[in-house]
Amino acid sequence: MFSLKGKRALITGAATGIGQAIAHRLAQSGAQVAITDRVGVSLEETAALCAPYGNGVVQEALDVRQCAMIKEVVPKLEREGGGFDILVNNAGINRPTKALEVDEANWEDHFTTNVRGGFFCAQAVAPFMIEQGYGRIIFISSQSGLIGIPGQPVYCAAKGAIINLVRTLGVEWASYGITVNSVAPTFIETNLTRERLKKPEFKEFVLSKIPSRKLSVPDDVAYAALYLASEEAAMVNATTLSVDGGWTSW
């Protein structure tokens, strides 16, 4: 598909699930990947998937809830290997909680990880991208940012915030050759959703909303991210690419 030969990519939350698939497909397409995740979370499985392509794999702990860590780790990675051409803000959490039961901690957790973390990672990689006049920043939002889903109001609000954040960043940085977009997936069975999808009534609700009655898989998102990360996607900016099989269209 698209060649990322010579490009350097930073991926957050890359130990598992969608982030792992994105790292794999970017590496397969020629990128050197810096794979990151929370402190103490093993990145070995992702590294083993990426290494055979021979483009270079760097592993680093990066907890996106900690702004100080972002400000320390991103420049360190840049000093060691050069600046980043591609950032994939994938790290995210979902703690489904009904509106009446949401407490401040639940609100803070969602917004700190999903929104604030991604914003400050983008801010950290942007100076190099601005200087070189080229960059691709991709957030993994969600269909939950485009529609309401009962039982997860804060996740929906946080993902909606990302969708408007990429509009703003994309417009603000467009003149520097940087695009900022998001991918909005439907349900994929990962650690994030596995328990909920085990409930037959919830799984049936999900399948009833996807016209093909099929769950998505991590590679569906990885290939969308690969396109947005490519030079060919230069005119796709400040927008969100739905990867939801049609859920949000009916």
Ligand X SMILES: NC(=O)c1ccc[n+]([C@@H]2O[C@H](COP(=O)([O-])OP(=O)(O)OC[C@H]3O[C@@H](n4cnc5c(N)ncnc54)[C@H](O)[C@@H]3O)[C@@H](O)[C@H]2O)c1
Q: In angstroms, what is the minimal distance from the CB of 112 to ligand X?
A: 8
Stretch that binds ligand X, among 26-34, 84-92, 102-110, 130-138 (CB under 6 A): 84-92
Pick from 92, 135, 160, 170 the residue near ligand X by CB under 6 A. 92
Size of the site for ligand X (CB under 6 A): 30
Instruction: Pick out residues in 111-150 that bind ligand X (CB under 6 A).
Output: 113, 117, 140, 142
Nearest CA-CA partner of 86 in 37, 133, 127, 33: 33
Stretch that binds ligand X, among 14-22, 78-86, 164-172, 230-238 (CB under 6 A): 14-22
Report the residue number, 63 or 85, with the smaller CB distance to ligand X: 63
- Is 88 among the residues that bind ligand X (CB under 6 A)? no
- Is 93 among the residues that bind ligand X (CB under 6 A)? yes
Nearest CA-CA partner of 242 in 233, 228, 234: 228
Report the residue number, 65 or 203, with the smaller CB distance to ligand X: 65
Q: In angstroms, what is the minimal distance from the CB of 118 to ligand X?
A: 8
Q: In angstroms, what is the minimal distance from the CB of 96 to ligand X?
A: 12
Stretch that binds ligand X, among 72-80, 85-93, 100-108, 229-237 (CB under 6 A): 85-93
* HEC secondary structure over the chain: CCCCCCCEEEECCCCCHHHHHHHHHHHHCCCEEEEEECCCCCCHHHHHHHHHHCCCEEEEECCCCCHHHHHHHHHHHHHHHCCCCEEEECCCCCCCCCHHHCCHHHHHHHHHHHHHHHHHHHHHHHHHHHHHCCEEEEEECCHHHCCCCCCCHHHHHHHHHHHHHHHHHHHHHHHHCEEEEEEEECCECCCCCHHHHCCHHHHHHHHHHCCCCCCECHHHHHHHHHHHHCHHHCCCCCCEEEECCCHHHC
Instruction: Pick out residues in 26-55 that bind ligand X (CB under 6 A).
Output: 37-38, 41
Instruction: Pick out residues in 145-204 that bind ligand X (CB under 6 A).
Output: 185, 187-188, 190-193
Stretch that binds ligand X, among 57-65, 97-105, 167-175, 224-232 (CB under 6 A): 57-65
- Is 91 among the residues that bind ligand X (CB under 6 A)? yes
Query: What amino acid positions are annotated as catalytic residues?
Result: 155
Q: In angstroms, what is the minimal distance from the CB of 133 to ligand X?
A: 29
Burial code (b: 16+ CB inside 10 Å, e: under 16) for 208-240 equals ebbeeeebbebebbbbbbbbbbbeebeeebbeb
The residues of the shown chain that bind ligand X, judged by CB under 6 A, are 12-13, 15-19, 37-38, 41, 62-65, 90-94, 113, 117, 140, 142, 185, 187-188, 190-193
